[in-house]
Amino acid sequence: MSDPVSADRPITDFERRFGHPPGLFVLFFAEMWERFSYYGMRALLVFYMTKGFLGYGDTQAYSVYGAYTSLVYATPFIGGALADRFLGARQAVVIGGALMAAGHLLMTIEQDTAFFMALALLIVGNGFFKPNISTMVGSLYPEGSSKRDGGFTLFYMGINLGAALAPLLCGYVGETYGWHYGFGLATIGMLIGLAVFVAPRVLTQILILAGSVAAAGMMVWAGWEDKIMLGVNAPVALALLVAAGIAAMAVGQGAMPDDVGRPKDPDAQHRAVLGPLTARQTIFAAVVVAVPLIAFLVQDGPLAGYVLTAFGGLAMLSLLIEAFRSDKIERERLQVIFVMMFFSMLFWAFFEQAGSSINNFTDRNVDRVVEERVITAAEVGQTVNLTLTQEQIGLTQSGAVFTLTDLDKARSEAGSGNDATRGWVIEPSHVGMGVGGSELKASVFQATNAIFIVTFGLIFTAFWGFLGKRGLEPSTPVKFGLGLLQLGMGFGALWQGTMVADPRGMVGMAWLILAYLLHTTGELCLSPVGLSMITKLAPQRIVSTAMGAWFLATAFSGFLAGQIAQLTGIGGHGEEGSNLIPAPIETLHVYGTVFGQIGVAAAASAVLMFALSPLLNKWTHMDADDLKGGGH
């Protein structure tokens, strides 16, 4: 799908020294800011639906979240095809970026129709943006270049740098100062990414540097009064500034080559395809029609599931027909793809709990406070003026249990950015309660996965290379099994955390961080090898269809993730939609039970994957080394 590299393209001094063209760093920052906007919005989405003006209960919020995340992964199949045939990757990225910026901006309006139209704009925009910017990375390198994998690794680091920045800024600002400010930051991020992509070279340098300095400064400001937050934010801010410096130096010697991302047939988009409408006009008309239709689908999770099932069923049917028509080797290779697709779908359905059930669990049942001191027995009977935090949740005050709903209400009354303070009468049960200190926002923990990927990604790559040189690198099916096993262990850590929670029902942060670490190492075993496997095993005549089916399976994972998350749905004292959150002790074992079941299911899937691996390796009809290693 990548365009041929022009033989006349000049080689810059930067490329001679560092091995990568300046255009890679334009794409790096365009994608980094796009992922910033996407993950910034994702960090807030469930909270916005349950705590914002919509006032959804968990089940309804998870249904919308599942429909959104599934359709986001479904549209790139269509956007990639339109770019291949008519628009070219460059024009598709611009269209996608503009639609996504409009979607993020619309999220700042507190109105039901605006909310769902915003989600639809993001879904359609992602369909144009996501597949085509990745295609352009490949187009920067000659066919067979040994530097291409390294280029995709750097690009992947950009994705995760944006994903790390997003919760630390958008999540923090949205939870502290107001949802629309968080979504507004996501809008600005998307606009910067789009501007970096289309601006002249000098302006691109200015945007890269100015945007990075501003974001780094905001991160230092956000953590200035909180040593723990500053300890998390500062290294990410430093990594951003280093990346910006290298990118500005690279772009100073050249920007995006003119031939990259251009349509294969420049006249194709101007030909009439629907009456008097040209292909380009037809695509724009289809976008206008698709946005309200998708907005309707997002509101109805089951209907979105039916649509995805239909699309996925057609894709699978086409592959099955090809399998029956193929010779023995091709048929067995396609059987491997079917099996791996199923296990990949399971992995991501479990993994995607991060933005829904795990996010709410973090908000409701994870102790995120590092207190200055604790209440002693000598203070019983006294009234202590304190800033309300999670430390008070689950405790009684004048016979009533103080809940997260009470805390959110007090903070809302105090106004955005202000602390909610109250005189708290100390009762015997309050001895040991934390006072003062800092409370980490729940949404910022969604940066953990991306930070771990940036930290361990290159280590894993080097480790697989080390094993490969000694003939010890695991095959793709075994890596899938290792990924599922570690995912199961991560959910096991969450379950264990609920088993050793404090009397209020609050779980230590260490269990959540351990879970994210295991989920990330699992992802690094499984995620990089999936697409590479498709390109190696699928017959060339249907490789695009197989890739599309793989993405549709990932889309279905998002829908399944929403259905699984609904098992943890907690209404106000059992009443869905009442917008009241019970005391932590009442929600603790709801989450613990579901997370434990997911852990068992993931571990069982890993065992099955290990058992099937010898047969699957045989069906690949390759030397073991040919199905090892990655791809991006």
3-state secondary structure 558-579: HHHHHHHHHHHCCCECCECCCC
The helix (run of H) or strand (run of E) holding residue 425 is strand 421-425
Decide if 38 contacts 348 (C-beta within 8 A): no
Same fold, 19-299 and 302-368+443-632: yes
Decide if 54 contacts 48 (C-beta within 8 A): yes
3-state secondary structure 427-491: CHHHCCCEECCEECCHHHHHHHHHHHHHHHHHHHHHHHHHHHHCCCCCCHHHHHHHHHHHHHHHH
Cα–Cα distance measured from residue 549 to residue 340, given in angstroms and rounded to the nearest whole number:
12
Domain boundaries, the chain: 19-299, 302-368+443-632, 369-439
The predicted structure's pLDDT at residue 579: 59
How far, in whole angstroms, is CA 366 from its chain's centroid? 21
Cα–Cα distance measured from residue 501 to residue 587, given in angstroms and rounded to the nearest whole number:
12
The helix (run of H) or strand (run of E) holding residue 278 is strand 277-278
Q: What is the full DSSP assignment across 174-214?
A: HHHH-HHHHHHHHHHHHHHHHHHHHS-HHHHHHHHHHHHHH
The predicted structure's pLDDT at residue 631: 38
Decide if 15 contacts 22 (C-beta within 8 A): yes
Tokens for 349? 């359905």
Decide if 482 contacts 607 (C-beta within 8 A): no
Cα–Cα distance measured from residue 321 to residue 410, given in angstroms and rounded to the nearest whole number:
61
- Rounded to 10 degrees, the C-alpha dihedral 334/338/343/345 comes to 120
Helices and strands of the chain, counted as H and E runs = 20, 12
Ranges of H-type helices in 538-632: 543-565, 584-620
Residues of the chain with pLDDT under 50: 1-7, 572-577, 624-625, 628-632
The predicted structure's pLDDT at residue 266: 82
Cα–Cα distance measured from residue 424 to residue 247, given in angstroms and rounded to the nearest whole number:
53
The predicted structure's pLDDT at residue 623: 59
Residue keyed to tokens 């260490």: 510
The predicted structure's pLDDT at residue 608: 97
Cα–Cα distance measured from residue 377 to residue 505, given in angstroms and rounded to the nearest whole number:
22
Report the candidate in 381, 376, 374 with the shortest Cα–Cα distance to residue 435. 374
Decide if 167 contacts 40 (C-beta within 8 A): yes
Ranges of H-type helices in 9-57: 13-18, 23-51
Decide if 515 contacts 523 (C-beta within 8 A): no
The helix (run of H) or strand (run of E) holding residue 422 is strand 421-425
How far, in whole angstroms, is CA 99 from its chain's centroid? 19
Q: What are phi and psi of 370, to 5 degrees?
A: -110, 95
CATH number of 19-299: 1.20.1250.20
Ranges of H-type helices in 52-111: 58-82, 89-106
Cα–Cα distance measured from residue 175 to residue 416, given in angstroms and rounded to the nearest whole number:
9
Burial of 378 from C-beta contacts in 10 A (0-12 / 13-18 / 19+): exposed
pTM of the model: 0.88
The predicted structure's pLDDT at residue 123: 95
User: 3-state DSSP call for residue 396?
Assistant: strand
Q: Which CATH class is domain 302-368+443-632?
A: mainly alpha
Cα–Cα distance measured from residue 190 to residue 104, given in angstroms and rounded to the nearest whole number:
8
Tokens for 73? 């992964």
The predicted structure's pLDDT at residue 229: 87
Report the candidate in 326, 606, 568 with the shortest Cα–Cα distance to residue 478. 606
The helix (run of H) or strand (run of E) holding residue 383 is strand 383-387
Tokens for 547? 């890739």
Cα–Cα distance measured from residue 124 to residue 143, given in angstroms and rounded to the nearest whole number:
31
Task: Tell me the residue length of the chain.
Answer: 632
Report the candidate in 230, 240, 184 with the shortest Cα–Cα distance to residue 210. 240
